[in-house]
Amino acid sequence: MDHQAKGTRQGRAALKADEAKVDLIAVVVAVNDSEPCLLTIGNADTLPSGPYALEHRSLQSGLRGWVEQQTGHPLGYIEQLYTFADRDRIGAERQERAISISYLALTRKEQATGSANCGWRSWYEYFPWEDHRSGTPVVLDILRPRLIEWAEGASDATTRRERRQRAAIAFGFDDRNWNEELTLQRYELLYESALIEEAGGGRDVAPAAVSGKAMIADHRRILATGIARLRSKIKYRPVVFELMRPSFTLLQLQRTVEALAGRLINKPNFRRLVEQQELVEETGETSLETGGRPAKLYRFRHAVLDDRAVAGTKLPLARA
Amino acid sequence: MDHQAKGTRQGRAALKADEAKVDLIAVVVAVNDSEPCLLTIGNADTLPSGPYALEHRSLQSGLRGWVEQQTGHPLGYIEQLYTFADRDRIGAERQERAISISYLALTRKEQATGSANCGWRSWYEYFPWEDHRSGTPVVLDILRPRLIEWAEGASDATTRRERRQRAAIAFGFDDRNWNEELTLQRYELLYESALIEEAGGGRDVAPAAVSGKAMIADHRRILATGIARLRSKIKYRPVVFELMRPSFTLLQLQRTVEALAGRLINKPNFRRLVEQQELVEETGETSLETGGRPAKLYRFRHAVLDDRAVAGTKLPLARA
DNA sequence: TCCGATTATATTCGATCTGACAATAAGGGG
DNA sequence: CCCCTTATTGTCAGATCGAATATAATCGGA
C-alpha cells in the first residue's frame, strides 16, 4: 500500500521503528475415533508457530513450513483465522512490536512422517464445557453458579443485567438453547470472570477438570477462535472431508461432524441432507466392522468444487 | 508467542531481518439514498490506510486514527477482514517485507467533521456487475461471452471444465441462481481472465463502464472482500443499524439492505422477519416524506446485544 | 368533497424444509 | 431359528419462506 502521508510526516528513522515481528501460528485439527484432536508441540500446551521469515514465499507457505518442521505433519486445508497484536510484550526488548497471524488447518493423524516433539490432545481437554454429545456436561453445573455470582458482583445494575444476559446467551441458561458456535464468547466470559487459569493470578480458579487445561500465552484463546470457526464452517462448506479417510461410512462421517460440533445429530436427517446434496458417492464396497448390518462405503465427490466455488452446502445440526 | 526454536536456530541478526512493515487499511462503508458508498482518499481510487506505529495502542485504534486523520470520519463498527503479505515489493528497499491488515468499517456519511482530502463513491462504480436491483445488469451480457471464451481457451479439457463450472457458479450461468455473496470469487475470476485493468497489461481490457473502475494496487480486491463479508454478515447479525440514522422507516431499512445485497427483497416478508425478531421498536412518530400513507418510524432496540453476543438474527434475502 | 394515485400495513396460501419418529433390511452370535 | 445390533428407507407434523392479495391512510387535483 502506498502511504504518501507517512513519507512526509516521519523521517526514515521513525519509519524503521514501525516495523514489527510477525509470527505465524497454527490450530491444526484432526479427528480420531470420534474425538477432535489438536496438534501441540513440546511438553507444554503450545500451538505450532514460528516467525514469518525472508525465505518464505507467502504467509501460508511459511506456516506450512513451520508446522511440518516442528511436527512432521504436512497440512492440507488451511484458512486464516485472525491477526492480532501482542500486547504486554514491551520490556523484553524495548518498544518491540509483535503481530501474530493465526490459521486453522485440517489434517488426518496418520499423515505424520517423522516422530518429532509433538502430540495430539482432544480439544475438549481444554474446553470441557464444550462437549454436549452425552448431554449437558457436569462442569456446567459448577460454572453456572460462579458465572451468575460474577454477574451479580458488578457495581451498577446495567452491568449486572448485561453480564447476566451475555452469560445466558453464551451458555444457554434460562432454558435458552445451547449454541455450539459461541465457543469464543464462552471463553471470553470465563476469562473476564477469572474462572480460568490464564485470566487471573490463580486465586479463585476452578480445578483443571472444570476449567480445562490452560495453554501457553493466549493459545487457548486462539484455539477457541478456531473451534468456533470450524463449527460454523462445517454447516455450509464441505470441509469435513479433509478430516476423513478416502472412504468412509455415513455413520463415521456423522460421528466426525458430531465430534466437531460437540452435539449429536439425528441420523436419518443427516443421511438425507448429505445424500440430497450429492456430496458423496458409493464406492461399491461395504464395511463389516460395525457389528450389525454392513455399512456402505462412500467417498467424497470431487466434482464438488472446493471451498472457493461451492456455495450452499449444509449439514443438519439440530438447533433445539 | 514463544519461539524457543528460533532462538537456537538463528542469531540475533537473522532475527532482525524477520521484521516487517505492517499496514492498516480500511474499507469504510456508508449507505446514502439507497446507494452503498465507499470512502476513498486523494484524487485516485485509494482506500484509507497507514502504518501500524508505535504510538498506537492496538491495531483497531491505529486504524481509527489513520482514517480519522485522513478523512475526518470517526468510525463506529469495525471488523477485521484479512491479512496478507504484499509480494512484488522487493526492489524498492531490498528484502523488505510488508504485511497489510485490512478492516471493514461502517459509518454514516453525515458524521464527517473536517473536509479533508477524501470522497464517497458508490461501490458499484467498481463492481458494475454486482448490482442486480434493476434486474441482471447489462454488463453481464458483455462479460459472459468473454468469460466463456476464457474458459474454452484453456489447454486441457479438465481445466476447461473447471473454469466453466467456476464461472457458472459465480455468475449464475446456465439458469443457476445469482449468489450475491460470491463477490470475491467473481472478482478473482475476472482477474484471472484478465478482463479487468489491474490484471493484465491493459491489452484486452473491457471499457471501465463494463469492467468497473480500477483502484490502486490491490485495493479493489480488498473492497471485494469487504463487500462479500458485509453481504454475508447482514443475514445473521444486526449490523445494518450501524448504517442507519437513529430513527427510520421500515422501507428505508429495507432499501439499505437491498443496496448492500445488490438485490431486491419482498416487502411483506422483510417486515415480517424484522418484526418477529424484535430488532426494532416504534418511536411513536411517523414520516410524511413518503408521498403516500405516512410510515411509522422505528429505532433499533439496543436491548439486542451487539455482535459478540447476539446469534441467530436473520434477514430475508430471496435465494431464487 | 370525492376520487384515484401512492405508499404503508396486515393477512393468507402453498411449497419447501426440518426435526422427530417409526419401519424395514441385513449381518453376527447363541 | 431367534435375538441383538446396526444400516437404510419412509412417514408426518410443525416451522419457515416466498409470493400474492387485501386493507388503511395520506395527498393532490377534479
The C-alpha cell at A300 is 467424497
Structural domain ending residue among the three candidates B124, B159, B183? B124
| In a domain? residue A1 | no
Are residues A251 and A186 part of one domain? no
The mean pLDDT of B219-231, rounded to a whole number, is 96
Residue B122: CB partners within 8 Å, gap ≥ 6?
B35, B36, B37, B38
- More confident of the two residues A116 and B187: B187
pLDDT tens profile B158-183: 899 989 988 998 998 887 888 898 99
Residue B199 has pLDDT above 90, yes or no: no
Domain housing B208: 131-212
Strand, coil or helix: B242 = helix
Structural domain ending residue among the three candidates B58, B92, B124? B124
Are residues B258 and B197 part of one domain? no
pLDDT at residue number A244: 94
Closest nucleotide to A319: CA versus each C1': C19
| In a domain? residue B308 | no
Q: For residue B157, name the pLDDT band (cuts at 50, 70, 90).
A: very high
* CA–CA separation, B120 and B33 (whole Å): 13
Bases of chain D within 7 A of a CB of the protein: 4-11, 17-21, 24-27
* CA–CA separation, A285 and A297 (whole Å): 6
Bases of chain C within 7 A of a CB of the protein: 5-12, 18-22, 25-28
pLDDT tens profile A106-152: 999 887 666 668 889 999 999 999 999 999 999 999 999 999 999 99
* Residue of A1, A47, A82, A218 best to disrupt the B interface, most CBs of B under 10 A: A1
Residue whose CA lies closest to nucleotide C20 C1'? A266
The number of domains in chain B is 3
Are residues B119 and B20 part of one domain? yes
**Interface residues 211-270 of B with strand C (CB < 7 Å):** 249-251, 267-268
- Compare all CA atoms of chain A with the CA of B4 and give the residue at the minimum distance: A50
Q: Which of B18, B169, B308 sits opposite A185 (nearest CB)?
A: B308
Q: Which of B1, B53, B217 sits opposite A1 (nearest CB)?
A: B217
- More confident of the two residues B304 and B274: B274
The C-alpha cell at A310 is 461451492
Please state, for a pLDDT cut of 70, what percent of chain B lies above it.
82
In chain A, which residues have their Cβ closer than 8 Å to the Cβ of B86? 1
CATH number of the domain encompassing residue A292? 1.10.10.10
Closest to B191 (Cα-Cα) out of B221, B170, B219: B221
Contact between chains at A50 and B3 (C-beta distance less than 8 A): yes
| In a domain? residue B314 | no
For A205-258, give the DSSP string.
Answer: PPPHHHH----STTHHHHHHHHHHHHHHHTTTS--GGGGS-SSB-HHHHHHHHH
Residue B204 has pLDDT above 50, yes or no: yes
| Buried/exposed A162-200: b ≥16 CB within 10 Å, e otherwise | ebbbbbbbbbbeeeeebbbbbbbbbbbbbbebbbbbbbe
- Compare all CA atoms of chain B with the CA of A319 and give the residue at the minimum distance: B312
Residue A275 has pLDDT above 80, yes or no: yes
pLDDT at residue number B200: 64
Distance A139 CA to C17 C1' (A): 35
Closest to B130 (Cα-Cα) out of B193, B181, B177: B181
